[in-house]
Every structure is written in structure tokens, then in C-alpha cells.
Copies of this chain bind each other. A is one copy, B any other.
Amino acid sequence: MRAIKDSVHDYIEVDGVASALLDTPQVQRLRHIKQLSTVRLVYPSANHTRFEHSLGVYHLADRALAHLDVSGARADKARAAAILHDVGHGPYGHQTEGIIERRLGRHHDDVTDLLADGPVADVLADYGLDPGGVADLIAGNGKLGQLVAGELDVDRMDYLVRDAHHTGVPYGTVDHGRLVRALTFRDDDLVLAEGNVATAESLLVARALMNATVYRHHVSRIAGGMLERASERLLDTSDLAVAAFARMTDDELLAALRDHDETEEFVRRLAERDLYKRAAWCERDAVPEDVVVADHDRVRAFARDIADAAGVPEKHVVVDTPGRPSMPESSARVVVNGDTKRLADHSPLVEGMQHSQEVQWRFGVYAPEEHAEAVGAAAERELGLSGVGDAVDY
């Protein structure tokens, strides 16, 4: 039995298939992908990786399986899925997932191909586990898929607590011990047992406050936007294949961007935290509906138009349109007076939280400090924004 020391869950015991999977290059690669990509430019301690997170998710899955009284091959499959749930991520995780999805047509949760052969496939075969079955769980399918990727999944429980620990922002410290103990199955639905409405609400609330304070902090969004733009430029102007890009680690991506003339400025700026500034920063009702719903190609076109109008190179304009706020936790199911209810149908908090997320929604255009004013004015004209500097931080 290996016991690995973790700064969040203390010792995590791994053996069998989990231990063997841990030693594969695909899982070891996650040591080199930061969990919170550019958030570290705001919260300097947030340097934790998807490797330690994957260990944590495995740990909570293992605890939950014990409480759910699932054992044997079914449990092994779920444990394998927990360890592997993030191997589909590209460099800098969520920051590049849109690029990869658009160009490769594959979501990071779709790991069917990655598990089909190579060291991971060998390990799964050694333990008699079907790669397709494991991939299904990672995609959230099936009864135990809810535990790996669902409204009440252990992924969420681990990242909230871990991100809180490493940023120092306390809002994410959910009571994972209680959550894991409260999980139970009702007609194949994973639900929280009676007496846990507040437990479910706490999950919702934790993510909403972490969103406002950490995940959507404007400095992190700016750096993230710059990184995404640099990555697209790299793929557009070099012979790097998307498939190879998708397998990179954070440091390999930085090296590739550094070695390429068209993208080298971005890396220098990120390394020195010499970031673009907010040229426009607008609340929801200051942005025309067609801009809000614009797809990626249109957003890229907006950036070109604004750059032209402002007389600056295209690479000096980043347009950032967050999608509509989603709140998967609101679909979490809780037993209330004997009946299974969706949290949104029982807790008056959910609606308030949803409005709150809309109030927090911000549209941004970013540019180097010396161009910010010109770019802001151009954005106002080109996109029909009704105010470019009025919105404030939430």
C-alpha cells in the first residue's frame, strides 16, 4: 500500500490499478499542468497541479465508494476513472479546451482514444478493466459516472477545497467529509440523503463565491485570454499539429510559444506579468445581445475589426465573452421529506444565486496599456457597447 502525502487530504492510500495508473506517463504528465492556469498571477500560491487534484479526486471517490458500499471490479473501474478523469486536458487545462474542442472536435471529457492503447490501456488490461467502460464514467455516463462527473461529483468537492487551500481564499472549503457521507443512490440517481439541503446549498454557494473571487478574477481572465490568443496564433502560423498541441504540458507550450516569432511577445509578457489592461469592461446590459451570443469566429472578427479601427496590430486586442453562467449544482438532487428533489426546485437560494451570477457577468476587451484607451473607444463604436469603463469588480 502506497501512502502519498497530500497537503489537503493528508495521506492518500493507493494500490492496485490506481497505483499502476499513477505511474503511467499520461497521469505523470498532469504534474506539469497547473490546476488553475493563470490564477497564480493573482493568487501567487495557486501553483497546484492536476496531478495532486487527480489524487484527491481518487481519494474522495474511494471514500465515497466505501460509503456507498460499492466494491470489486465496479469500484476499481470508478477509481480508475477518478485517477484518469483529467488526462484529456490540454496544456493549461480549461484555458485551451475551447481551442482543442473546436479544432479536434473532442471534449476533454472524451478520453476514449487516450485509453484505447499505450501504457494506460496496458494497465487497464492487466486489471481486467474495459477502457470503454472507464471512458464512459469519465464522460459522466452510467450510475457511477455521476460520482466522477455530475452535479455531486467528487471532482467538484476536491477542486473547491484544494483551490481554497492554495489560493488562501476560504470560500471553497466545503465539508467534503459530510458530502461524501451523505451520498446515496435512489433509483440509480446519486443524491444527498435526508437532512442535507444546507449541505447541497453549501456546494452551490462555494462555487459561486469562488467564481466571483478567484475563477473569474479579471487579471486571471486577461492572462488567460492572452494565452488562448497566443495558442491560436501558434496553431495558425506554425506547423504544430493540434493533436500534438493537445498533448503538451504547460512548460512545453510555453517553450513552443517562446520559440515562435509570432507568439514570443505573449510569453515574455506572461512571464513578467506585463499584462494587457481592460480597454472595455461591461455589465450584461451594456452589451448588445448579438455580441453576447456571438460564436468564436465572430468574436475573432470583432477583435480584428476593433484592432483595425484602433490602428493596432490584431494581436494587441483580446475580446473576452464569457458564456452564459451555468450552475450544474442547481440540478443536484437531495432527499427532502422522503422525496428526491432537484435543489433548484426546493432551495430558494438557487434562483438568487443564478441572478447573482448574471449580475457578475462581465464582457471584456483587453489591450496593452498604451493602446487601452484607443482600443476601448474602438470597441465601444464597433460593437455598440453602451459604456466601456463603468462596470466594476463584483
Contact = CB atoms under 8 A, between A and B. Distances in A.
Interface in A236-292: 249-252, 254-255, 258-259, 271-273
Interface string A179-210: 00100000000000011011001100100010
B352 A348 contact: yes
Contacts of A209: 198, 201-202, 205
Given A45-B6, A205-B209, A350-B352, A170 B166 contact: no
A7 B44 CA distance: 8
A194 to B, nearest CB: 5
Contacts of A273: 23, 28, 31
Contacts of A34: 47
Nearest to A30: B44
Interface stretch (A49-57, A146-154, A311-319): A49-57
Interface in A158-184: 165-171, 173-175, 177-178, 181
A359 interface: yes
A347 interface: yes
A3 B181 contact: yes
Contacts of A213: 198
A167 B5 contact: yes
Interface stretch (A82-90, A93-101, A372-380, A386-394): A386-394
A168 B6 contact: yes
B44 A55 contact: yes
A52 B168 CA distance: 12
A45 B44 contact: no
A171 B181 contact: no
A114 interface: no
A87 to B, nearest CB: 13
A178 B11 contact: yes
Contacts of A258: 252, 255
Contact of A359 (B169, B177, B205, B348): B348
15 contacts: A3-B181, A5-B168, A10-B168, A11-B181, A28-B271, A31-B271, A32-B271, A47-B49, A170-B173, A173-B173, A197-B212, A197-B394, A251-B251, A252-B255, A348-B354
Please name the 5 residue pairs, one residue from A and one from B, whose CB atoms are nearest each other, closest first: A352-B352, A348-B355, A255-B255, A7-B45, A195-B393
